[in-house]
Structure 1
Amino acid sequence: MARTLEQSFQVRFHYAVEFTSHLFDTSNAVFATTVGQQRSACKVLVVMDDGLVAHHPELPLAVTEYCQVHRLNLVAPVMILPGGEAVKQDPVNVTLVQDAINMYGIDRHSFVVVVGGGALIDLVGYAAATAHRGVRLIRVPTTVLSQNDSAVGVKNSVNAYGKKNWLGTFAPPFAVLNDLHLIETLENRDWLGGLSEAVKVALLKDEEFFAFLEAHADALRTRNLQSMEHAIYRCAQLHLDHIATSGDAFEQGSSRPLDFGHWAAHKLEALTGYTLRHGEAVAMGIALDSTYAHLQGWLPENDWQRILTLFERLGLAAFHPLMLQSLDDASDPHSLLHGLQEFREHLGGQLTIMLLDSIGRGREVHEMDLDLVARSVQILATRSPYSSSGPNPSAQSPEEPAWTTTAIPAP
């Protein structure tokens, strides 16, 4: 006789995304308030990005002094780890964070605080989520891309088996604290690259925001802080709204709209040995999928041109020479087209790719015409000044155009 017990329950998550400046100035109460009232009883372990420390060498000491003034129980000197995608490549770095969590007795009522770019936040979040089945994580993102996209979500990960984010968890942070001051020292590649995620979410959800990015493209490219502040805030707001209202925050289904352009982006990052940064690769992935949607007859000519022109004005290239590699063989792991198979494997279930019907309105498809993808790559190649022997598109100067804007025949 068969017997069955079934259970169903819901867990409600809540976390704040704060926007401030000079977070660790002792006169700024945001961090202390986030930790809460029982400050001396809560242990705090801080992990910081070495690239950030190189530009802000005073920051580790500022954190120490802040904790002393606000009576926060900082259990150890600030732990400094490498930033950038390389940190997610070496499993030793996960062990280092977990060793510190163990050594200093960080429990579920204590805090791990990570201060840095999206890659380090991913890694420390993964370590924190797997210690004691999850300890409290406070994210302090310090790049445009992490402030407007990756750090405000619920995912943590490291790379494995030659694939991006192969190991990971869904674990919402305790809080996200965006410090506008810390993005001021970003190099141009990180300042501009993060804007690709703003373009992405605007294309999917908010034509008015896309128009803002168009109107302020020159200001954003020339590092106008006020324009960037609004771009980060609105992008983060749209991402949070999607997480809260999509009904699939932990991606149990086959649809991941916010991964628009990412199937190609993740593959490009791997093909370049992660010398191409995530935001740069996302811009190329969006340009590719937008071109594909136009060739399919879905995305109007004018909208397609607006997308490519915006990337050009923002100084983000739409093409990398490795996109042309093995375009006739999707089974070749070194082919961009192989990224579709890897994307399907990473997601599981039915292949689901987000494309565009217009700016502000997407459509999902469950198969891609590989010949048309290849043609889309070739179109972007002809529009780009970069050949297989030419310069790296990610290293272009602000004055150097990413392509010339020309029309292609409608299908």
Structure 2
Amino acid sequence: MSTIEELKAKVEQLEAELTALKQSQPRSKIDVMSSEVVDSNPYSRLMALQRMGIVKNYENIRTFTVAVVGVGGVGSVTAEMLTRCGIGKLILFDYDTVELANMNRLFFQPHQSGLSKVKAASDTLSFINPDVQFEVHNMNITTIDNFDKFIERLNIGSLKNGRIDLVLSCVDNFEARMAINTACNELGMNWFESGVSENAVSGHVQVVLPGETACFACAPPLIVATGIDEKTLKRDGVCAASLPTTMGIVAGFLVQNTLKYLLDFGTVTKYLGYNAMQDFFPTMSLKPNPSCDDRHCQKQQKLYQEKLVSQPQRVVEVAEEVIVHEDDWGIELVSESADVKENKSVAEGLELAYTVPDDVSGAGESVATDDVSLEELMNAMKSLK
């Protein structure tokens, strides 16, 4: 063994001993979240969200149980963020081990090489925040026996031995996604799907609300439409790329929407994409497919429609008020519902970020939005009195 290799081995050994020493002396658990602003309070900056009116009851996060399926590049960072946010309980599912090839990503460390990912993750996370309860399962959820165990834990794995609050899919293969989709459709359980592309420069997060939005089987990827076996697409000796930046961004969006969903603030994005090449973030909503192959999805769609019919229809009438400024200009502010010509884009449901009035010259001359130049538009605006 060379001198360099000996030094590396010694460093890894010392890191492992230091980690073990730290974990043997964890900080004491905190029974109640405090908003007291002191350096010794690990939740003071989180509770500030409540003081500022962003979240009504941030301390409710201690009551939630979330399952993270797949503790890889996205899942490990997701679990760490939720741990630092003070989630009540995390249930981790994975069957892989930590490798040195994973060190280009965030979270895992070289001395954890060879450990199961769920064991390595729970060791690190319990040291970061001992207030969080961890339950780990080193297993492949796609096998028959393990799938039944997976459904059981989703159904009775919460802090109160009941149904958990949310499932986060951070897996990297179609088969595991379908297993999660099947389980959540059967239980009628909401879940988030996430993923990063093979070339590492794009990703997405998607909330799946059984019956209300499209499930993973409603809008299957090309691999389903063509009937190609996924295993045939994985070439020997070819490794998918991964960037800690892209994975960290996707994990951040996933946890951000998870917090909004659990703590009921802001708007949960139904589908959020990310393209790193142009920093493009497309959003959309996907409706369920009435002919979905998953019978449980069709059942959930029927239940959702029945729920909509049973809900009382709320009709809110708002009186439109015209405001006239008391000056020589006589400017009037009217509702956006006034008769205004709309410019619609080719894609259904999308609108331009701005509209150009039919008459910008003041002389009744119509200006085509496709032909008007910036100089012409500025001259026309200057001529207005």
User: TM-score when scaled to structure 1?
Assistant: 0.29
Higher helix share: 1
User: TM-score when scaled to structure 2?
Assistant: 0.30
